[in-house]
Structure 1
Amino acid sequence: MDANELRILSLLPWTDWLALAWFFVAWVGYALFARKRSASSMSLLAVTNQYRRLWMLQTTGRDVRVVDGIVIQNLSTSPSFFASTTILIIGGLLALLGTTDKATELVREIPFAARTSALVFDLKLLLLLGVFVYAFFRFTWSLRQYTFGALMVASAPDYRVFDRGEASRDEFADRAGRIVGMAAETFNDGLRGYYMAFAVIAWFFSPLWFAVGTAGVVYVLYQREFHSEVLAILKS
């Protein structure tokens, strides 16, 4: 380990490094776990994907598909809203980076908040900024995927073509349902970023609160995706 690496490691106490490592392991690990678990134990996203495929299957039997276009448009408003909100948050965090000294003094006045240097405070802000940048990219990609789904619905053959067997309803429902499902999955990734941002905020108080907050956020995500009441209703 050279002098530069030692200098970087010395910026934070070892407890902060452990909490930071736990944060990334928990976030990435839960995302991989949720994706794998959905294959064997139906998650909220997996169950709603079944409804999305059923929706697209019903689309092939409609003469006028105005309702389907309206539904997709309404679904796309959520990632659009969050993307716009995230831009404002990113702008606020960038502005806060320019007034680190004043922000540090303000944080020091908060009871139980950790007393850190301006450089360490900047590092915590940069992590929070990175989380929201990630969320912004996921929200905007979700928005584009919804437009792809709208294009598939708009370009679907007439229902008489499906009735005559010249086009497969199941193939269309599989492809279109998967596109809309991918948009929902990407939007879900952005929402997870928002949840994890609350854990990062706890880092301003102490690395212990950071670690506990990360575990708490993962627990909430797990409960909502695999054991929520709405999931039980959708599966019934």
Structure 2
Amino acid sequence: MTPHDYLNIGAAVWLFVCWVGYARFARKRARTDHCLASVLHVYRKTWMIEMLSRQNRIADTALIASLERNVSFLASTSILIIAGFVTIMASIDKVYITITALPFANESMSPRQLQLKIVLLLMIYVYAFFTLTWAMRQYGFCSILLGAAPAHDADIGEAERRRYAISTAKIIDQAGHSYNYGLRAYYFSLAILPWFFNTWFFIVAVGVVVGVLYRREFHSTTLRALVRDLTATEAMKKSPNG
């Protein structure tokens, strides 16, 4: 094996280390700090508690259907991308000639290395498809739970209502996590594109993706607004006039 082969192997390991490492870091950090996942979980619980007190729940079912459509779009896109990569694999020699003819193309890349990179992309989108379709199924479960939710005037205790709301919110939360995992697969797949031109560009791109994900999940303007609104809502509930 040449030094370039070892560099490519190290770059592939770097991708999975960053991907898996960031996922573990985000889950652990969410337990102690505000992030999009932890804050949205609070909003989902509030949503389900409020849903049980409403007589008309058409808006709630429409919201679940809207979330499911967003996931369905990405899942359908994954299938199209997978089909495209399978087509590329069938004509890898022509694709290799086309890519190497591009400006700044990696001249040391062999057809076999190109094939392995495309296989890696294919595997990522297969993972994304399975993750996103699982999110779709979980949103479908949420629709069933909304349909089976007790009526606003049902003769059940407040503890039972809250337990049902929290359980339903938990399933919505799990669907949101699956959707998030699928989105991350898309992000990291885009980082592979510079690999067709330069391995070091790919290594830097993976680091940039991790930085973008971290900033959006833990330090974005959207997160600050969500936390601010959540704090204001809790303050109004505790107020004597609230």
TM-score over 0.5 (shorter chain): yes
Q: Quote the offset at 1:166 in angstroms.
A: 7.1
1:205 maps to 2:197: yes
Equivalent position of 2:237 in the other structure = none
Alignment map for 1:160-199 (pairs within 5 Å): 160-161=153-154, 164-165=156-157, 168-199=160-191
Which amino acid in 2 is paired with 1:202? P
Which amino acid in 2 is paired with 1:28? V
Match of 1:148 among 135, 138, 141: 141
Which amino acid in 2 is paired with 1:20? A
Q: Quote the offset at 1:117 in angstroms.
A: 1.6
Secondary structure class of the residue paired with 2:141 = helix
Which amino acid in 2 is paired with 1:133? V
5+ residue gaps, structure 2, are: 229-242
Matched residues in 2 for 1:96 and 1:223: separation? 35
Which amino acid in 2 is paired with 1:75? L
Which amino acid in 1 is paired with 2:5? P
Alignment map for 1:58-207 (pairs within 5 Å): 58-115=50-107, 116-161=109-154, 164-165=156-157, 168-207=160-199
Equivalent position of 1:229 in the other structure = 221
Matched residues in 1 for 2:36 and 2:187: separation? 17
Is the 1:128–1:201 Cα contact (8 Å) retained in structure 2? no
Equivalent position of 2:40 in the other structure = 48
Identity %: 40
Matched residues in 2 for 1:167 and 1:212: separation? 51
Matched residues in 2 for 1:175 and 1:134: separation? 27
TM-score normalised to structure 1 length: 0.92
Q: Quote the offset at 1:165 in angstroms.
A: 1.6
Matched residues in 1 for 2:133 and 2:3: separation? 34
Matched residues in 2 for 1:215 and 1:208: separation? 11
Matched residues in 2 for 1:175 and 1:53: separation? 9
Kindly tell me: are residues 65 and 11 of structure 1, through their superposed partners in 2, closer, same or farther at Cα, counting changes over 3 Å? farther
Q: Quote the offset at 1:156 in angstroms.
A: 0.8
5+ residue gaps, structure 1, are: 1-8
Alignment map for 1:28-39 (pairs within 5 Å): 28-39=20-31
Q: Quote the offset at 1:161 in angstroms.
A: 2.2
Secondary structure class of the residue paired with 1:114 = coil
May I ask how many residue pairs the two structures share in their alignment? 227
Is the 1:161–1:167 Cα contact (8 Å) retained in structure 2? no
